[in-house]
Amino acid sequence: MRTYATIAEIKAVQQRAGLHFFDDDTMEHWRSVVYEPVIGGRLFITGERYDEDDPERYSVREVRSDGRISIIVPDDAESTDRYGYWSDRTAAIAWARSLDPTRPSHYLLAVVRRRGEPIDTRPIAEWRTIAGGGCDADWREVVDFLARTDAPD
C-alpha cells in the first residue's frame, strides 16, 4: 500500500485523482480541520463540529493508494456514527499510532469483516463497489492478508 509523508502529499494525490476531500467547500461544509502529522504513512486526524457551538470531535482517516479517504474506528466500536468518533484528539492520535502500519487498508479489511463473509465469495469488483473504491493493489493486499491470517488452523 502506498504511504505518504505529509498532508500536502495526500492533497496532491487527491487533486490528481479528481477527488474533493480537501476542497475548501468540502472542508467548510463539514466544518473540518486537518491535523498533521501523517501517522504510519497513511493515517491522519481531522477535527469536525456538527454545529458552530458544538465542541470539536475527532476522526481518524485513512488514505488509500487510489487517494480515497475513509474514516476508521476500532473494530469493537458500538457507534454507527464513525464521524467524530473521538472527543479527545490525543486519544484519536494514540489509537492511530497503535495500529500496525504493515497491515493492508484498515478500512477495506473492516468492510470485509463487517459483511461477515469470506472475501473469496465475491469478485474484487463487487467488494470495490461495496467499499466505495480501492485500487487493485490495495485489494490484492487485503486478499493476501486475509488468506494468511483468517485461514483455518
Structural domain including 94 reads 7-98
Region of residue 64 (left: phi > 0; alpha: psi -120 to 50; beta: else): beta
pTM: 0.80
Query: 137 lies in a domain?
Result: yes
Return d(Cα 119, Cα 129) in angstroms, integer. Answer: 13
Residue 1 resides in a domain: no
Quick one: 93 and 110 in the same domain? no
Q: Which of 41, 9, 11 is nearest to 24 (CA)?
A: 11
102/35 Cα distance (integer angstroms): 22
Determine, yes or no, domain membership for 2.
no
Q: Which is more confidently placed, 1 or 20?
A: 20
Same domain, 57 and 94: yes
Model confidence pLDDT, tens digit, residues 37-78: 999 999 999 999 888 888 899 999 999 888 889 888 877 666
For residues 43 and 111, membership in a common domain is answered with no
DSSP string, 8-67: HHHHHHHHHTT--TT-HHHHHHTTEEEEEEEETTTEEEEEE-SSTTSPPEEEEEEE-TTS
Report how many domains make up the chain. Answer: 2
Do 85 and 140 lie in a common domain? no
Residue 110, in any domain of the structure: yes
User: Is the pLDDT score of 20 beyond 70?
Assistant: yes
